[in-house]
Structure 1
Amino acid sequence: MRPALDRLQLIEHHLLGRPTPAEAAQWQLQQLTDPALAADTDAQQQLYRALHQAGRQQLRQELELIHSRFERQTRRRGWFQNATAHLRRLLQRPRP
């Protein structure tokens, strides 16, 4: 693998994986001694946050669309029920 991909994989392991306590301690030391690694890690964390926020926003929009469609269908059904209620009552009356 290319060194840049190895570095990204290492960052992802520490951000998304479950490093052992020894790995976490080593990681902290690496970040203190390598400012570029600390900067890359911070950039990757910001990217994850932005992706998470974008996903939440998209989900919220999809849920609002579903809700508005459901509300429209319910209103239409309610209007039709109200408009035909008199006819249904007439048809349900027992005939003499």
Structure 2
Amino acid sequence: MRPALERLRRLEHHLLGRPTAAEAAQWQVQLLTDPELAADADAQRQLYHALREAGRRQLRQELELIHSRFEQTTRRRGWLQAATDHLRRALSGRKPGSGR
């Protein structure tokens, strides 16, 4: 595997995976002794955080759109139900508000 890909794999393993206690301790030593690795790990951590936040915002927008559409449909259905109830009562000869 190319060195850059291996480095990314290691970063992902320690940031997203489940390293053992020994691996985690060794990783901390590597971060302290290799400032470039520490910078890469921090940049990758920030990238993951930004991606999670973008996903949450997108999901929130999609849920708000679904809710808005549901409310519009419910309001229309309510209006249509009221109009057809009135027509049904008129056609059956009952007065509005007289019940069944």
2:73 match: 73
What's the CA shift string for 1:25-63, capped at 9, x where partnerless? 000000000000000000000000000000001101111
Q: Larger relative contact order (C-alpha < 8 A, sep ≥ 6)?
A: 1
Q: Does 1:53 align with 2:65?
A: no
2:31 match: 31
Structure 2 unaligned residues grouped into runs of 5+: 95-100
Quick one: which amino acid aligns to residue 86 of structure 1? H
How many percent identity over aligned positions?
Answer: 76
Partner of 2:18: helix, strand, or coil? coil
2:5 match: 5
Residues paired across the two proteins, number: 94
- The 1-side partners of 2:8 and 2:23 are apart by 16
Aligned-pair Cα RMSD in Å: 1.4
Structure 1 unaligned residues grouped into runs of 5+: none
- The 2-side partners of 1:30 and 1:78 are apart by 64
- The 2-side partners of 1:48 and 1:92 are apart by 64
TM-score calculated relative to the size of structure 2: 0.88
